[in-house]
Amino acid sequence: MHCQNNGIIEGVVQMFKFKGKTSTEMNLKILNDITFTSPRRDSRLVKVPGRDGDLLMDNGRFESVVRNIPCRLEAPPYVNIHNCIEKINNWLIDDGNYHDFEWLEDSDFLYHAKVEGNIATHKMTETFGRTLINFRFHPIKYLKTGFAETIVANGKNIHNDFQIDAKPIISLNGNGNVHMSIGGRPLRLNGISDGCIINSETQTITSLDGSRTLFSKMNSPFPILKPGENIISGIPDTILISIIPRWGALV
């Protein structure tokens, strides 16, 4: 791969996996002319009366990004190409939700994507066609090993090797109040009974079985793991804590 001066990366991707099936299983071969456009920071310029220039308002998030994936459709021997098109459409368009997506050449990471709009297939011969699939990607891709759960103790350093904040899932088992620190930022919970699960990505806090929301117990922002060191401190003796860091990078 090589980088262009305009911030767009062009390269060759041979295969992708979506909803448990690979593009090659669906008789699709990805063409070489894919453009990987980066996500954009969600911000806007505001004109303020009496102030020169514009004020930048940052919404603290990245926007999703649409990428077009052109493929060559090659029907197997003695198989009608229309049957292949039907199979592809049924695979890609069923619920319109985000699903796990993987690139063969970026196999350490898990993406989240959904099909955007229609799927266009141009039939060239009785056995060959060209299919254009538009995917909308979540702006963050996740390191697969970052989904491993780790029990943490006071003094533990959870190091974020990436350049964006990680939004972890934190499980607390035990009872009582929690006034602790993760990477110098407070985590305060009052009156925990049996435990809870904090999901910083979805901004939710629930009971361990997920049946009850516990927002009233939380008196601090949702935890994040900043790039670099994140020292854990202040864990009470009555609480056992584990963290799924969910390390991520921009797609």
pLDDT (0 to 100) of residue 118: 82
30-44, 101-115, 158-172, 237-251: which has the minimum mean pLDDT?
Answer: 30-44
Residues 6+ apart with CB under 8 A from 218: 188, 189, 198, 205
The conformation of residue 147, written as its DSSP 8-state character, comes to: G
Radius of gyration, CA atoms only, the chain:
23
Cα(159)–Cα(60) distance, integer angstroms? 22
Task: Please tell me whether residue 51 adopts helix, strand or coil conformation.
Answer: coil
pLDDT tens-digit series, residues 94-152? 787 899 999 988 999 999 999 988 887 877 778 888 888 999 999 999 999 999 999 99
Tell me the whole-structure pTM to 2 decimals: 0.82
List the one residue out of 72, 58, 84, 60 whose CA is nearest residue 14: 72
Q: Tell me how far apart the alpha carbons of residues 57 and 243 are, in angstroms, rounded to a whole number.
A: 32
Give the pLDDT score at 200: 96
Q: What are phi and psi of 84, to 5 degrees?
A: -65, -40
Q: Is 146 helix (H, G, I), strand (E, B) or coil?
A: helix
Average pLDDT over residues 171-185: 94
**Which DSSP symbol is given to 52?**
S
Nearest to 67 by CA among 92, 34, 21: 34
User: If you write DSSP's letter for every residue of 181-218 in order, what string do you get?
Assistant: EETTEEEEEEEE-SEEEEETTTTEEE-TTSSSB-GGGB
Which domains does the chain possess? Answer: 2-138 (2.40.30.200), 144-250 (2.60.120.860)
Checking 207-210 for CB contacts under 8 A at 24+ apart, the result is: 208/171, 208/173
Alpha carbons 114 and 101: distance in angstroms, whole number: 9
